[in-house]
Amino acid sequence: MQHGKYRFIVGFLALPLGLYALFVVWPFIQSIYYSFTDWTGLSPEFEMVGLDNYRRMLDDEIFWKSLQHSLMFALVLPLVTIGLALFFAFMINVGGRRRRGGPVISGVRGSSFYKIVYFFPQVLSIAIVALLFAFAYNPDSGAVNSFLRGIGLDGVQPLWLGDPDLALWCVMAVLVWSTVGFFVVLFSAGMASIPADLYEAALLDGAGRATTFFRITLPLLWDTVQSGWVYLGILALGAESFAVVQIMTTGPGGPDYSTTVMVLYVYQKAFRDGQAAYATTIGVALLVVTLAFAALVMRLGRRERLEY
Amino acid sequence: MGSTSASDSAENRGVKGVGRRDLIRRSAALGLISVPTVGFLSACASSGGGGEDKAKTGKKTDKNPLGVNDTAQLEFVLFDGGFGKEYAEDAVKIYEQNFPNVKVKFSATQKIQSTLQPRFNQGTPPDLIDNSGAEQMDMGVLVGKSQLADLTPLLDAPSYDDPAKKVRDTLRPGIVEMGQFDGDPVWIMYYAYTVYGVWYSQKALDSLDATYPETWDEMLAVCAKAKKKGMAGWTYAGKYPYYLPFSLYPMIGKVGGREVLDAIDNLEPNAWKHPAVKACFDAYHELYAKGYVLRGTPGLDHIQSQTAWAKGKALFIPNGSWVENESANVIPTDFGLAVSAPTGLDSSDKLPFGTIWASGGEPFVVPAKAENPAGGMEQLRIMLSEASSKNFTSKVKSLTAYNGGTDGITLTPGLKSGVAALDKAGQNVVNPRLQDWYVQLQKEKIGVSGLGEMMAGRLTPAEAIKKIQGYADETAKDTSIKHYKHQ
């Protein structure tokens, strides 16, 4: 039955490859192509302008600011989110005190409740989360400043989103809040598959919580952490950061360009200023940054895989 | 011998098959080839023309001055925003009555850009569009790329109510000019008419035994009085500081004359360095420096600031006439909503008190590639009749471009005071154009990074002016932007 084998294989591959080419590869090629034109996005006419858009981008102060903020997002967001998520997941699954007659390892009291609570923000759409926090950050009557007043800190009434030094951190905090739950659940699942005898052996040797975490849990969870890192980085460079910046910040992107990110700038150039070609140019830059980020994380994170 | 190497035996074990590894390698190669191949089939999203088959024009008669083909379909896309869609539906009904053989294809959406951008790119746009809202398509680009039809035939046609009067003579001041970009053609018909200024509660002002201040010293005195009562003088949409110009620009015009505003719009070098600009910036900064701006204002968005103002936390807010509708649910019934032209500096100002900013809103356009452009214009002509205008005003509490149309209908307090302010202004209506000519400059650069920073106390007026002048020069030099001049 060898004859017709190629046809058989091609038959299976053609459709997915075709779809991939049409919906993934083709748009990429198109946008790279448009970045060499002066297309406005509002009329069918355009001309080739060579590298003009790229030259303009390198001189564009706002572009550099947005790049800087995007990189900051890609660096800080995974670091904080994964750090917190690992800590929470560890406490939920492993960090509990040993109870008489109970299993060797267990989470802190009420851990199943916490698991649900942490996951809860994941149920809300990011747009709603951003809106809720925009209200909370309202300096006049928002929850945060009201709380500060409530505990007697009348003198400490920051402008939050209205302050260029704080705005970016306010926005990041919202993203951390909304994504950490997902990673708690993800890491919990990973931790559940680590055999209990490894922990048992460590406990017999007198290992404390910290040692258990760094010597057992983290190394055995490394693959999950790494993919979580890439996923979070892409999320921080892409849609999620756009949504919060667009909905919450002054301007949006302000005050004084303190929160503008690359995706927001792409959006504004394409859909506000009618400069679709320049927007795709920034999009190409974003693509390069994202690929570089993924490659970097994969390379730095490469470790020997442990079988268990 | 019977001893062959392992690899041999694998190769010889019968047929030359496709191993798993081979398959992956080959399909990867195939993928690599297919990428550039697809690239050659450069059928771009933006290609494709067509849509050139225009409807034949009908015969021009007194009843049909634009020569509308009475069998051609009309497609009308409305922005479904704060004004709703009823007013347009009513006007469509009249069109269908006048042309009984036509069924108008009417749709209303908030997603103007997402719905219509592809159709512009394909060259098959509808016949009449209300290009408004958050998804407004950039007018400068549409005009620059010759996507819009010149509305001069409409303006020169006899008006719907009085055949002796041209449509252009029935419009409010500034409407026709606003539709022009460079030269005579009029590309946009603004239907709504917005009054910008300082909005306040007459009741709150009465409780302070004060009247609306006409000079800046009086303004500071009123604010001081309010502060004693625990009320801030001013608040504004801190997150969108480009609301500040609604009262600041006409003040500049009042202090220094129209030429100052025109120079700013024309991006002339050192336009912002005019002494009138500095004087007005100093005046506004004084509000901040003396603590007359509601605490936390730079972190409030428009709704939050309007709510604080409606609750009586602040006396004045720079805004447009839509505020009455937008904040209807938080403005108390005995609020006594009123608008005033901005306060000037003193009696040496070039223009009298009452100088106000008023301009068109809800921009209607007829695409150049529309199939039935005459129909689109006829629909606009119907909407600009007195009856349709009255219908709009009574339904959505806003004035229209039609000059008049308020007799015999009960006006809401805000609307009434807007009409009074327009009467008082007379010919002293200014119309700064930065916000429709250079959106990024106006909103992000001047608004957020200049005025916003100054009113938050992070820039001095002199620094703000320097920064804004830098932005304006940058915009003037930017070749990727189309530039406009006042006629």
**What pLDDT does residue A201 have?**
85
- What lies within 8 Å, CB to CB, of A291 at 6+ separation is none
**What pLDDT does residue B184 have?**
85
Suggest the residue from B239, B317, B453, B455 to mutate for an interface test with chain A (most A CBs closer than 10 A). B239
Average pLDDT, integer, range B192-203: 93
Residue B457 clears pLDDT 60, i.e. is over it: yes
Shortest Cα distance, chain A CAs vs residue B350, angstroms: 33
CB contact under 8 A, B300 and A257: no
Which of B30, B135, B296 is closest, CB to CB, to A139?
B296
Quick: pLDDT tens for B149-161: 999 999 999 999 8
Quick: pLDDT tens for B49-77: 444 456 667 777 777 888 888 888 999 99
Lowest pLDDT segment from A111-115, A245-249, B282-286? A111-115
Which of B31, B141, B443 is closest, CB to CB, to A17?
B31
In our burial notation (b when 16+ CB lie closer than 10 A, e otherwise), range B234-252 reads bbbbbbbbbbbbbbbbbbb
Residue A300 clears pLDDT 90, i.e. is over it: no
Average pLDDT, integer, range B304-322: 91
**What pLDDT does residue B378 have?**
92
**What pLDDT does residue B44 have?**
42
Look at B302 and B34; give whichever has higher pLDDT: B302
Average pLDDT, integer, range A124-133: 89
Residue B36 clears pLDDT 60, i.e. is over it: no
Quick: pLDDT tens for B398-412: 889 998 878 778 888
Q: How many whole angstroms from its chain centre is CA A146?
A: 30
Nearest CA in chain B to A157: B296
Look at B395 and B32; give whichever has higher pLDDT: B395
Quick: pLDDT tens for B414-425: 989 999 999 898
pLDDT classification of B221: cutoffs 50, 70, 90 = very high
End-to-end CA distance of chain A: 40
Shortest Cα distance, chain A CAs vs residue B299, angstroms: 4
Shortest Cα distance, chain A CAs vs residue B201, angstroms: 20
* Structural domains for chain A: 36-300 (1.10.3720.10)
Which of A5, A21, A162 is closest, CB to CB, to B239?
A162
Region of B156 on the Ramachandran plot (φ > 0 left; ψ -120 to 50 alpha; else beta): alpha
- What lies within 8 Å, CB to CB, of B234 at 6+ separation is B223, B287, B292, B293, B294, B297, B314, B315, B316, B317
Quick: pLDDT tens for A254-289: 788 899 999 999 998 888 888 888 999 999 999 999
Q: Please give the mean pLDDT across all residues of chain A.
A: 85
Shortest Cα distance, chain A CAs vs residue B120, angstroms: 6
Residues of A whose CB is below 8 A from B48: 44
**What pLDDT does residue B21 have?**
53
CB contact under 8 A, B42 and A33: yes
Average pLDDT, integer, range B37-59: 49
**What pLDDT does residue B484 have?**
86
Lowest pLDDT segment from B63-72, B228-237, B286-295, B344-353? B63-72
**What pLDDT does residue B33 have?**
44
Nearest CA in chain B to A2: B17
Look at B262 and B42; give whichever has higher pLDDT: B262
Domain chopping of chain B, boundaries = 74-194+359-415, 195-358+431-477
Which of A9, A56, A140 is closest, CB to CB, to B480?
A56
Shortest Cα distance, chain A CAs vs residue B363, angstroms: 16
Residue B340 clears pLDDT 90, i.e. is over it: yes
Tokens of B309: 């103002």
CB contact under 8 A, A272 and B120: no
Quick: pLDDT tens for B233-257: 999 998 899 999 999 999 999 999 9
Length of chain A: 308
**What pLDDT does residue A103 have?**
65
User: ∠ at Cα B383 (B382, B384), nearest 5°?
Assistant: 90
Nearest CA in chain B to A274: B138
**What pLDDT does residue A196 have?**
83
Average pLDDT, integer, range A15-43: 88
Nearest CA in chain B to A39: B46
CB contact under 8 A, B145 and A254: no
What is the CATH number that goes with domain B195-358+431-477? 3.40.190.10
Query: Which CATH architecture does the domain made up of B74-194+359-415 adopt?
Result: 3-Layer(aba) Sandwich (3.40)
Which of B46, B440, B449 is closest, CB to CB, to A254?
B449
Nearest CA in chain A to B474: A60
Quick: pLDDT tens for A173-218: 999 999 998 899 899 888 888 888 888 888 888 878 888 888 888 8
**What pLDDT does residue B214 have?**
92
Among B206, B232, B350, CA closest to B291:
B232
Residue B142 clears pLDDT 90, i.e. is over it: no
Residues of A whose CB is below 8 A from B447: 251
Average pLDDT, integer, range A65-72: 91
**What share of chain A has pLDDT > 90, as a percent?**
18
Residue A251 clears pLDDT 90, i.e. is over it: no
Average pLDDT, integer, range B451-473: 92
CB contact under 8 A, A250 and B35: no
Q: How many whole angstroms from its chain centre is CA B393?
A: 19
Quote the CA–CA distance of B363 and B370 in Å, as a whole number.
Answer: 17
pLDDT classification of B4: cutoffs 50, 70, 90 = very low
- DSSP codes of every residue in A130-186: HHHHHHHT-TTT-HHHHHHHHTT-TT----GGG-TTTHHHHHHHHHHHHHHHHHHHH
Quick: pLDDT tens for A84-106: 999 988 888 877 666 666 666 67
pLDDT classification of A110: cutoffs 50, 70, 90 = confident
CB contact under 8 A, A42 and B145: yes
Check if B41 contacts A (Cβ < 8 Å). no
**Exposed (0-12), middle (13-18) or buried (19+): which is B85, by Cβ within 10 Å?**
middle
Chain B (271-300) residues lying within 8 Å, Cβ to Cβ, of chain A = 294-300
- Report which DSSP code applies to B208: T
CB contact under 8 A, A162 and B295: no
Look at A300 and B306; give whichever has higher pLDDT: B306
Helix (H) and strand (E) counts in chain B: 21, 10
User: ∠ at Cα A250 (A244, A255), nearest 5°?
Assistant: 115
CB contact under 8 A, A250 and B39: no
Residues paired with residue B200 on neighbouring β-strands, in sequence order: B316, B338
**Exposed (0-12), middle (13-18) or buried (19+): which is B340, by Cβ within 10 Å?**
buried
Task: Specify the residue for token string 């500095």.
Answer: B278
**Exposed (0-12), middle (13-18) or buried (19+): which is A69, by Cβ within 10 Å?**
buried
ipTM of this complex: 0.77
Shortest Cα distance, chain A CAs vs residue B360, angstroms: 20
**What pLDDT does residue A102 have?**
61
Quote the CA–CA distance of B6 and B116 in Å, as a whole number.
Answer: 66
Suggest the residue from B20, B26, B138 to mutate for an interface test with chain A (most A CBs closer than 10 A). B138
**What pLDDT does residue A157 have?**
82
pLDDT classification of A11: cutoffs 50, 70, 90 = confident
B177 contacts B265 by C-beta, under 8 angstroms: no
Look at A154 and B269; give whichever has higher pLDDT: B269
Average pLDDT, integer, range B329-341: 92
Which of A44, A141, A274 is closest, CB to CB, to B46?
A44
**What pLDDT does residue B55 have?**
65
CB contact under 8 A, B113 and A33: no
Same fold, B74-194+359-415 and B195-358+431-477: yes
Look at B109 and B23; give whichever has higher pLDDT: B109
Average pLDDT, integer, range A118-123: 84
**What pLDDT does residue B6 have?**
39
Among A85, A112, A74, A95, CA closest to A183:
A85
Average pLDDT, integer, range B436-447: 87
Q: Please give the mean pLDDT across all residues of chain B.
A: 84
Q: How many cross-chain Cβ pairs, A to B, lie less than 8 Å apart?
A: 157
Quote the CA–CA distance of A139 and A158 in Å, as a whole number.
Answer: 7
End-to-end CA distance of chain B: 101
Residues of A whose CB is below 8 A from B456: 159, 162, 255
Among B428, B393, B378, CA closest to B189:
B378
Check if B39 contacts A (Cβ < 8 Å). yes
Length of chain B: 487
**What pLDDT does residue B43 have?**
38
Check if B338 contacts A (Cβ < 8 Å). no
Nearest CA in chain B to A16: B31
- What lies within 8 Å, CB to CB, of B113 at 6+ separation is A271, B135, B136, B137
